[in-house]
Chains A and B, each alone.
Chain A
Amino acid sequence: MARAWVLPVLAVAWLVAAPTSAQEPRSGSRELPPGVFDAIPQDAATVEINLSGAMLRLVAAAAEVEEPEFAALVRGLERVQVRFAEDVDPELGPTLLEGVELAAESLRRAGWTQQVSIREGSERVMVFGREEAGRLTGLTILFVEESEAGVVHLVGEVDPDRLGVLTQGLALPDLGLDVGGGSDVEPDPEDRP
């Protein structure tokens, strides 16, 4: 009788823990399988970006007045990760190609849908998508070109039409970024870009 409180406490603990454990596979499914960003060796990367919720909401708020379409797109995003290498040493080409192929394979195994695949000589462009309830909630791009290579990962509501319109006129901005220059929280070692 003295231990009568144990069962209610366990029941409450289970009720509190249950929603969390139920959500894990769903949110986890949008994340990349480990090692995808390793397609681009870290010492070759010139830009690394890792932005998540809070900072993306600040960016959206800052752009709200002048660029509502851009703000709406950013507001739908939960995470933006990039590893990008410019002026790649030509000797690194085979390593990059192998890395991208391995990353693509692990994405396929994790259930990502391959939407685009361009193989042209030593160049590769692959686009993978993740859908939930008929909506695109994740987009991962792997590319190796003549002197550049990159992995781009967007998590959240990615509206392809809006994305297409907005990215039409975007040229690559010069960020003056240092490697490892993510502005936001430190990523988990497993999904670091």
Chain B
Amino acid sequence: MPFDETNCDQVDERVEAWLDGELPAEEAARLERHADGCPRCADAMAWARTVRDELRSLPTYPAPPRVARPALAAARATASDNRRRLGRLRALAAAAVLVVLLATALLVSGLGREVPAPEVARAEAEVRLALALVGRVQRRTAAEVRREVLTGGVGDPLRAASEAMTAKGDER
């Protein structure tokens, strides 16, 4: 609910927080401005401050061991649990960071080909070998076709026809 500083009930609800310095600065300023013009709320705020100061001025006494020991043990157990939880969280976070780093490294090595995985590098070499064999057969085939065209069954008749035409021209 938005703070309405003209509503004294809402001011009452916020006095403790104001006293402990927990109100946002802008809200605290509005509350103080309201108290300047509202004696009821000014009294409530003054009373709250007095009570707090009185409580702080009370003497302190050490707690008896039968009260302190279980309380300390419970506090330590809670702290220990928190540390374990924090440790587990840290381990999980470290593992997550490690996984992300490894995945990034694998991705970079896979895409950038800096350090390809040995299996992939080997497979790549195998594909190149297969293609090289295909290429060699293609070249052999092309050479055979050229030879056939130029010197074999296709070339010889053409050459013979050309020579015959040349000879006829000479005769004329």
User: Is B100 part of the contact surface with A, judged by Cβ < 8 Å?
Assistant: no
A73 and chain B: residue at smallest CB distance = B131
**Contact: B133 with A55, CB < 8 Å?**
no
A116 to B134 Cα, complex, angstroms: 12
Central interface residue in B113, B134, B138, B141, by most chain A CB within 10 Å: B134
User: Is B105 part of the contact surface with A, judged by Cβ < 8 Å?
Assistant: no
**Contact: B113 with A63, CB < 8 Å?**
yes
Instruction: Please classify the interface of chain B as helix (H, G, I), strand (E, B), loop, or mixed, using the class held by over half of its residues.
Output: helix
| A155-169 at interface with B (beta carbon < 8 Å) | 163-164, 166-168
A181 to B119 Cα, complex, angstroms: 11
Do A152 and B124 contact each other (CB < 8 Å), given the known contacts A118-B141, A173-B129?
A: no
Do A125 and B130 contact each other (CB < 8 Å), given the known contacts A61-B111, A62-B113, A62-B124?
A: no
**Contact: A172 with B136, CB < 8 Å?**
yes
A171 to B131 Cα, complex, angstroms: 9
Contacts of B138 in A (CB 8 A): 163-164, 167
User: Is B123 part of the contact surface with A, judged by Cβ < 8 Å?
Assistant: yes
| B135-166 at interface with A (beta carbon < 8 Å) | 135-138, 140-141, 144
**Contact: B132 with A80, CB < 8 Å?**
no
A120 to B119 Cα, complex, angstroms: 39
Contacts of B123 in A (CB 8 A): 51, 55-56, 58-59, 183-184
How many contacting A-B pairs (Cβ < 8 A)? 114
Contacts of B140 in A (CB 8 A): 118, 125, 143
User: Is B125 part of the contact surface with A, judged by Cβ < 8 Å?
Assistant: yes
**Contact: B124 with A63, CB < 8 Å?**
yes
**Contact: B119 with A55, CB < 8 Å?**
yes
A64 to B112 Cα, complex, angstroms: 9
Do A82 and B141 contact each other (CB < 8 Å), given the known contacts A139-B134, A183-B122?
A: no
**Contact: B126 with A51, CB < 8 Å?**
yes
Contacts of B141 in A (CB 8 A): 116, 118, 125, 127
Do A167 and B132 contact each other (CB < 8 Å), given the known contacts A65-B113, A80-B126, A183-B126?
A: yes
Closest 8 CB pairs of A and B: A167-B135, A170-B132, A49-B126, A183-B123, A59-B124, A55-B123, A172-B132, A58-B120
